[in-house]
Amino acid sequence: MTVAVFFGCAFIAFGPAFSLFIFTIAKDPLRVIILIAGAFFWLLSLLLSSLVWFIATKASNADDTSLQRGLLIFGVIFSVLLQEVFRYGYYRLLRKANEGLAAISEDDASSISVQQMAYVAGLGFGIMSGAFSMINILSDSLGPGTVGIFGDSQYYFITSALMTLALTLLHTFWGVVFFEGCEKRRWWVIGVVVMLHLIVSCLSLMNPLYSGSLPPVYAIMVLMAAWAFFSAGGSLATIKQLCSRGPGQDSVLLSSMR
Amino acid sequence: MNTSDSEEEVCNERTALVQTQSPTLPNYNRDPDMDLPEEVEPKRRHRMAGETSSPGQPTRPASGRESSTETDEEELTLKYGAKHVIMLFVPVTLCMVVVVATIKSVSFYTEKNGQQLIYTPFTEDTPSVGRRLLNSVLNTMIMISVIVVMTCFLVVLYKYRCYRFIHGWLILSSLMLLFWFSFMFLGEVFKTYNVAMDYPTLVMIIWNFGAVGMVCIHWKGPLQLQQAYLIAISALMALIFIKFLPEWSAWVILGAISVYDLIAVLCPKGPLRMLVETAQERNEPIFPALIYSSAMIWMVGMANPPAAAEPSNQDTDEEMLQSERGLLEQEGAGRESPSLRGIGRSYSAEEEFEEDRGIKLGLGDFIFYSVLVGKAAATGGDWNTTLACFVAILIGLCLTLLLLAIFKKALPALPISITFGLIFYFSTDNLVRPFMDSLAAHQFYI
């Protein structure tokens, strides 16, 4: 507990997302707006899924713990599906907005590409998802207490932070891949993204058996990172360029990616 | 230097982006005042669009503009739109962060010890739900009628040109905020953190804070300092509301004030609309003490030659409005033309403001947004609710600004944001919170 755990978990969970925000999004107002709207869409999906879960629990017997657990699992799966539906909805909205922006701009090209919007939207989803999962836990970690005093796992905070980090980055990668799939009309891509999201959530159902949930989730995250990288236009050549170029030449690399 | 307030000053290097009020092309080359180097680019566009207004007529370039430049302006509008949205996001976020941080750390503002404002005389301490609801509705009605009366009084005073009275009133209220409420705030913060403080130091701190604040807000000062002070007084006011408004009354008041805002700004006989129209006719700035102004103030000083200053061609109003769509940052030109002031505004319930200096937002909007988020933070220890309300308010503000860019007239800033905020507060508190708590207890992730 205390401040050390608070800062440690906060930086683990939100460090990469925060740096991504500072370095790639904060300077461009349009991206900030897309980010916040993405967070809003995720929030809407959460609201609807909580509504469904709430109704289900109220309609059922509150004392039957296995039933409640079953309903919670149902809630998780329904929420995942709804999040993907809202991601698709956000994609449609962004496409329309993009067309609008392109139509009224001088050179018939909007100032932001679909890939960039995909990245920002994914990050918006990820940040909001991470924040909702982690913030209450973080605020509890500031105060006094002993973790796991009743026999629960001692590693609650750190595993929560690690899981939050994984999910935030996963949302970002899923956003990129999902939008790319929608753009190119490859519906199997969307199916795979949904499947992977379901798999990740179901892996978390194994908690507190952390060895069963965290390593596979991180493996999936690395795979998704590679997939998103190649889907966004990266290639082995660009990786080599990245490694061979010095610090001042990264802007060239960034501009070479669509 | 960017200064606040309403003095005409020379334009700075940013005037390149501003469509100036120069006379038409055949004249401008001969007029050394007009021929500033930064204006070459917009003039090129004029030339490309073709100059159709007659040479000798000192009309605004707007009237001669063709549709191609209007698309440029539309694009300009949206480009500046995103920037202006962020220019408003940042102060609104800052105000909310200050309020939430104070609420979460200083317990004074969440303690209810039975003290209430005189505007909400009915107590909510009754056992029955119906009675409590009735009391809160009555409190709301009293509060709203007080606000309506004050606004109408302000409009009447403005119409009859009692400027001294209004200025005195504003100075008194900002005195109260800057000195008394900040003294209270500082006292509570010291109590919370157990900081020992002596009166002479305290007096010096409060005196400096307050005096500089009065100067910045009512007279002149660096723009960012003025913005900071406006955010500070909005936060202080919001904290007072959070402390002294009873629970249910606060929510009902928030809802009622958005409805009032909608009516007051959009109805033809609404007080705020009349206020703005009066200010438009008289070609005057509305009190800077009540308006947060977000943009850099670059003033088109050269557009003020007395000869060209009076645009009496009201028939070109519409074109002027259209031309100024893209000129959200243009300020100085508004001095001459009443119509130019009509470029998209947002309103608050209590204050009015204009947008010839970029985007402006009334302080009442800041206050009520912060009240909503602060109350969300105060009730219960759930940060998810606070975060949800925060995002909802920002999205509402974004939508309001989008509507502003589309309709280009005064718009109330409260309704959409407060509606979203209220919806998200109640649904997150009652629906999402149990769900997320259960998920966190089992460490399931969605």
Q: B328: helix, coil or strand?
A: coil
Known catalytic residue at B365: yes
**Quick one: CA dihedral B238, B244, B246, B252, positive or negative?**
negative
d(CA A25, CA A35) in angstroms, rounded, equals: 8
Q: What is the C-alpha to C-alpha distance for residues A60 and A69, in angstroms, rounded to an integer?
A: 12
Please name the amino acid found at residue B180.
W
Task: Name the more confident of B52 and B329.
Answer: B52
What distance in Å separates the CA atoms of residue B405 and residue B426, rounded to the nearest whole number?
A: 30
How confident is the model over B357-376, as a mean pLDDT?
A: 89
Q: Do A201 and B445 touch (CB under 8 A)?
A: yes
A141 half-sphere exposure, CB direction, 13 A CA radius: 21
DSSP state of B6: S
DSSP codes of every residue in B103-137: HHH-GGGG---S---TT--S----SSHHHHHHHHH
- The angle formed by the CA atoms of residues B422, B428 and B434, to the nearest 5 degrees, is 155
Segment (H or E) for B227:
helix B223-244
Q: Indicate if the pLDDT at residue B23 is higher than 50.
A: no
What's the rounded Cα separation, in Å, for the pair A193 and A122?
A: 12
User: What residues of A are in contact with residue B398 (Cβ under 8 Å)?
Assistant: 33, 36-37
> ∠ CA(B210), CA(B216), CA(B221), 5° rounding?
140
Q: Do A36 and B382 touch (CB under 8 A)?
A: no
Using CA atoms of B297, B302, B308, B311 in order, give the dihedral in degrees to the nearest 10.
-10
| B85 close to A (CB below 8 A) | yes
Q: How far is A126 from chain B (nearest CA, A)?
A: 11
Say how many C-beta atoms besides its own lie within 10 A of residue B180's C-beta.
13
- For the record, the structure tokens of B368 come out as 């009520």
Q: Which of A79, A45, A75, A87 is nearest to A174 (CA)?
A: A87
Asked if residues A121 and A87 have their Cβ atoms less than 8 Å apart, the reply is: yes
B-chain residues near A194 (CB < 8 A): none
- Which pLDDT does position B358 carry in this prediction? 74
User: Ranked by mean pLDDT, which of B20-29, B111-120, B179-188, B359-368 comes out on top?
Assistant: B179-188
What is the rounded distance in angstroms from the CA atom of residue B151 to the CA atom of residue B270?
10
Q: Which of B381, B391, B439 sits opposite A43 (nearest CB)?
A: B391
Please report where in the chains the tokens 């050390």 appear, as a residue.
A4
Mutate which of A44, A76, A170 to test chain B, going by most B C-beta atoms within 10 A? A76
pLDDT at B295: 65
Least CB-CB distance to B440: which of A106, A131, A137?
Answer: A137
Which residue among B82, B388, B446 places its CB closest to the CB of A201?
B446
Provide, as residue numbers in chain A, all residues whose Cβ is less than 8 Å from the Cβ of B440. Answer: 133, 136-137, 160
Between chains, do A207 and B439 touch, taking CB under 8 Å as contact?
no
Euclidean distance between CA atoms A220 and A204, whole angstroms? 13
B442–A69 CB contact, under 8 Å:
yes
- Residue A178's pLDDT is 96
Pick the range with the lowest mean pLDDT from A192-206, B22-36, B189-203, B204-218: B22-36
Catalytic one of B261, B315, B429, B437: B261
In degrees and rounded to multiples of 5, residue B362 shows phi and psi of -75, 155
Q: Which of B315, B356, B365, B429 is catalytic?
A: B365
Query: Does the pLDDT at position B305 exceed 80?
Result: no
| Number of Cβ atoms within 10 Å of the Cβ of B111 | 10
User: How much is the ipTM here?
Assistant: 0.91
Mean pLDDT in chain B? Answer: 75
**Is residue B406 less than 8 Å (CB to CB) from chain A?**
no
Residue B363: is its pLDDT beyond 50?
yes
Q: What is the pLDDT of residues B79-95, one digit of tens each?
A: 447 888 889 999 999 99
**Range A20-41 burial, b when 16+ CB lie within 10 A, else e:** bbeeebeebbbbbbbbbbbbbb
Taking CA atoms, what residue in B is nearest to A163?
B445
Helix (H, G, I), strand (E, B) or coil at B382: coil
CB B233 within 8 A of CB B400: no
The pLDDT, as a whole number, for residue B386 is: 96
pLDDT, tens only, B250-276: 999 999 999 999 999 999 888 888 888
Structure-token pair, residue B282: 């008289």
Residue type, A177: V
Q: How far apart are CA B12 and CA A214, in angstroms?
A: 57
Query: How many other C-beta atoms are found inside a 10 Å radius of the C-beta of residue A227?
Result: 19
**What dihedral angle (degrees, nearest 10) is formed by the CA atoms of B98, B103, B105, B106?**
110
What is the tens place of the pLDDT at every residue in B121-175?
888 888 899 999 999 999 999 999 999 999 999 889 988 988 899 989 999 999 9
CA B78 to chain centre: 20
pLDDT for B319-352, tens place per residue? Answer: 333 333 333 333 333 333 333 333 333 333 333 3
Please tell me the distance from the alpha carbon of residue A161 to that of residue A138, in angstroms, as a whole number: 9
Q: Give the span between the Cα atoms of B4 and A244, in whole angstroms.
A: 50
Q: Chain B, 9-28: which have a CB under 8 Å from a chain A CB?
A: none
Query: By the 8 A CB rule, do A14 and A43 touch?
Result: no
Peptide bond between residue B338 and the one before it cis (omega within 30 degrees of 0): no
C-alpha–C-alpha distance, residues B194 and B207, integer Å: 22
Residue B197 pLDDT greater than 50, yes or no: yes
Q: Do A135 and B387 touch (CB under 8 A)?
A: yes
pLDDT in tens, B216-247: 998 888 999 999 999 999 999 999 999 999 88
Tell me, letter by letter, the H, E, C secondary structure of chain A. CHHHHHHHHHHHHHHHHHHHHHHHHCCCHHHHHHHHHHHHHHHHHHHHHHHHHHHHHHCCCCCCHHHHHHHHHHHHHHHHHHHHHHHHHHHHHHHHHHHHHHHHCCCCCCCCCHHHHHHHHHHHHHHHHHHHHHHHHHHHHHCCCCCCCCCCCCCHHHHHHHHHHHHHHHHHHHHHHHHHHHHCCCHHHHHHHHHHHHHHHHHHCCCCCHHHHHHHHHHHHHHHHHHHHHHCCCCHHHHHHHHHCCHHHHHHHHHHCC
Quickly count: other Cβ atoms within 10 Å of residue B29's Cβ: 10
Mean pLDDT of successive 10-residue stretches along chain A, which has 258 residues: 89 96 93 96 97 93 87 95 96 90 69 91 96 93 84 88 96 95 93 95 86 90 94 85 70 54
